[in-house]
Chains A and B, each alone.
Chain A
């Protein structure tokens, strides 16, 4: 299961000229440039915890065109990356 790291408020700026956003990491003080998939995952988790399958479904629904054969691996890598920045964390129920 995944959830937003406690303390993250997802303070973010979106801009009308593109799909990338910038996000302020409240825990580290870092600022991240995020692509659309990362934003989608974070917004989903802002609504509540979710497991890998739910998150894959959310991303798949948002994607244009066909799923890449490595889709599941890519999602896992993205989740790990977000976790490495202390934006999200995994937990067991």
Chain B
């Protein structure tokens, strides 16, 4: 995806002179010129989430506290592809059944943890990303989720096909959940 990120108003075109405002429902909108009229700026969801989960904006809020994991920040999650080819944390065996950690039924319940990494369980590959996230937590590559939190994410999604990130928040679809989990992984 092509995300343009601009910091500060210096990179934005000047604000158009107040155009004639049309009453709501009117079909006509006055446009001064196309060059300054497209998508001017984007706040990309991935980066904002990374700022949330990993450190405060500019690291200021938490005093640039450094993560616990030896030699790495607590925000170096890896993708499912990485975990296919690298050694796993001792507590999770590749040949353990996925359902042992993440209760499920149907085809998923016949797969090992290793197999789930390459299985498309639904359109969005939620199980695959949940497995990778769990490995990220167990290995200390990410420090802001607990094992239980990952299990809770799966159990809600498995039951309802949505995940509610917080009380009062709009529920996430599988696509949004995967977008979040992917944002915790190094690209």
Please determine if A and B sit in direct contact within the complex, based on CB atoms under 8 angstroms apart: yes
Residue-wise interface mask of B (18-42) relative to A, using a CB-CB cutoff of 8 A (1 in contact, 0 not): 1101000000111111111111111
Q: Which of B32, B43, B176 contacts A64 (CB 8 A)?
A: B32
A38 interfacial contact with B, CB 8 Å? yes
- On chain B, the residues within 8 Å of A31 by CB distance are 42-43, 45
Q: Is the Cβ of B32 less than 8 Å from the Cβ of A34?
A: no
Interface residues of A: mostly helix, strand, loop or mixed? Answer: mixed
Please classify how large the interface on chain A is, using the bins under 10, 10 to 19, 20 to 34, 35 or more. 35 or more
Q: Is the Cβ of A84 less than 8 Å from the Cβ of B1?
A: yes
A19 interfacial contact with B, CB 8 Å? yes
Q: Which of B31, B43, B176 contacts A30 (CB 8 A)?
A: B43
Q: Please indicate which of the listed interface residues B18, B37, B41, B175 has the most CB atoms of chain A within 10 Å of its own CB.
A: B37
Q: Is the Cβ of A85 less than 8 Å from the Cβ of B39?
A: yes
- Residues in chain B within 8 A of chain A (CB atoms): 1-3, 12, 15-16, 18-19, 21, 28-46, 175-176, 179
CB-defined A-B contacts under 8 Å, sample of 29: A18-B19, A19-B19, A19-B21, A20-B40, A28-B1, A29-B45, A29-B179, A30-B3, A30-B42, A31-B42, A32-B41, A33-B40, A34-B39, A36-B16, A36-B30, A36-B37, A38-B37, A38-B38, A40-B29, A62-B31, A63-B30, A64-B19, A68-B33, A68-B35, A74-B34, A75-B34, A78-B34, A85-B1, A85-B42
- Residues in chain A within 8 A of chain B (CB atoms): 16-20, 27-40, 59, 61-65, 68, 71, 74-75, 77-78, 81-82, 84-86
